[in-house]
Every structure is written in structure tokens, then in C-alpha cells.
Amino acid sequence: MNILFTIYTNNTSWNATIHQLNSDVLYRHVMHSGNLSNSSIHFTYDELEKSGKILDQNEHNIGQFSLQ
């Protein structure tokens, strides 16, 4: 499955192909390509919308991802 990532703080976006959707896979992609200075992030996901948010340790929305 293809996924589109967007990080708001540095205006970065990219596509990736993943085989399984889970927080470990999302984390690896965001840390590798997102150029974030803070590694304390987590994710929310809405199955109906097929999209989610990337949140920092203070629950601030720093990005999003969506299945394509």
C-alpha cells in the first residue's frame, strides 16, 4: 500500500510503499525522511478516512499521513 506523509514544521512531504500499517513502520518512515529534531512522536489513525495525524510529545499536530 502507498502512503503519503506530510510534516508541517519543515514543509516536507513524501510517498512510501509499506506492507503493514502500524506505529513502528510509521515511526521509521517519519524519522528517516521527516528530518525531525524530536523523536518523541506518536500517531492517530481514522480507518474511515484512511488518514492520521503525527503528534509530538505535547499533542501538537506536526504532520499527517494518508493511504493512497
- Quote the pLDDT of residue 35: 84
For the chain, the domains span 2-67
Per residue in 27-56, pLDDT (tens digit) is 999 999 988 878 899 999 999 999 999 999
**pLDDT given for residue 13 in this prediction:** 96
Residues 27, 65: Cα–Cα separation, whole Å: 11
Q: What's residue 37's pLDDT?
A: 79
Mean pLDDT of 12-30: 95
Q: What's the pLDDT at 53?
A: 98
CA distance 42 to 11: 19
